[in-house]
Structure 1
Amino acid sequence: YAMATNNPSVFLVMINGQIEGANFPEYDDLYCKYCFVYGNDWAPTSGLEEGISQIACRGQGTQPALVWNFPLEITFKSTNPFGWPQIAVSVYGPDTFGNDVVRGYGAVHVPLTPGKHVRTVPMFVPESTSRLQKFTSWLMGRRPEFTDPKVVAQGEGREVTRVRSQGTVTISFNIVTKDMKKLGYDATPSEALSAAEARTPSLAHPL
């Protein structure tokens, strides 16, 4: 603490927003979980790092969207932009047997510039790699799952995972930063993103 006082080298990133909803044409009665993933130099100072929404049902008529309006609120402090936070989202819903199964995983970086932003996050599911696995998961109504949803926000081992596209999730952000300019981090968004991705590769756009 004394060091922090003598050397005010910390900046803050304040995140408010919501997971607005999702578009999964094939499914209904879905809920989502989220967690923030960030580098070693980052630490949350207030707010919630993870959460779980209520179950949303599709509206009447032709509107396929599921609406959660699930609030996000967290503040991070850091000494440098490497490992810029990402939000990892996983969506779940009932299968034909009434068991909750994963319907999609996705991740996106928290926006780098202050202000209001909306992100549409592509969601993916891991594919079974063998015919037997596919048949067994079809029979049991189960599909492969990542044991840790944070895997989608990390690059290691990602290339050995086969995924299939499945729906989107929409997230709105209001970002406020404090003391970044004082510390010389007044980079353009593209420069800041490349610095952030240097240690936390995004999997919002899988291979």
Structure 2
Amino acid sequence: MKSKLLLAASLLFTANVAFAEGERVNIGDFSKGSIAGWEVKEFAGKTNYEIKYQGNRNVLTAKSTNGAASALGVRKKIDLTKTPFLNWSWRVDTPLPPLKEATKAGDDYAARVYVIIDGGLFVWKTRALNYVWSSKPDSRGQKWNNPFLPRNARMLSVRDSRNGPGQWLTEKQDVAADFQKLYGFTPRSIDGVAIMTDADNSKGIAAASYGDIYFTAK
């Protein structure tokens, strides 16, 4: 769906927000049992997002059935010159079959975390960088343009199907450096973060779990 990523910017309210500062900037404190401040954006049905207690901690679970696709996002302006590293943990619980993810029919992911530069009224200036758990083998580290919005959304495979279901994995990505690699420029800030588990294009079923999300200086 063409609007799935571009309209995700509407999760980011148009009001100006001061920079979040500190050595660690918390984005999603799911371990505290809350998704306060996060907002759902529905595209094709509704992915079920809820806090559940798993393995001695609270996590955010996401399940897409009947080809559902909705994002969960929060607006928070992050100064990448001070805290450029995005940290999170995740687990795929129900993987999708191998998809041709660079095509419109295969643009689904059991788990993704993405950051957004909001173009505001100039929607065409919105940029999204998607960190995805690919359904294909041997795709870790690969990057490609989103098939619906090649100028506005870029994809980077952080994990692939070799990392089977049920494995908790921890990630750290240099967002400023990744924008340079995928877009050719280094932003000083981003405007928000979103997650999405979706299966609307492949009409499949997908489920994942997400741990806390935060930015750090190093």
Report the TM-score, using the length of structure 1 for normalisation.
Answer: 0.29
Larger Rg: 1
Q: Relative CO higher for 1 or 2, CA cutoff 8 Å, sep ≥ 6?
A: 2
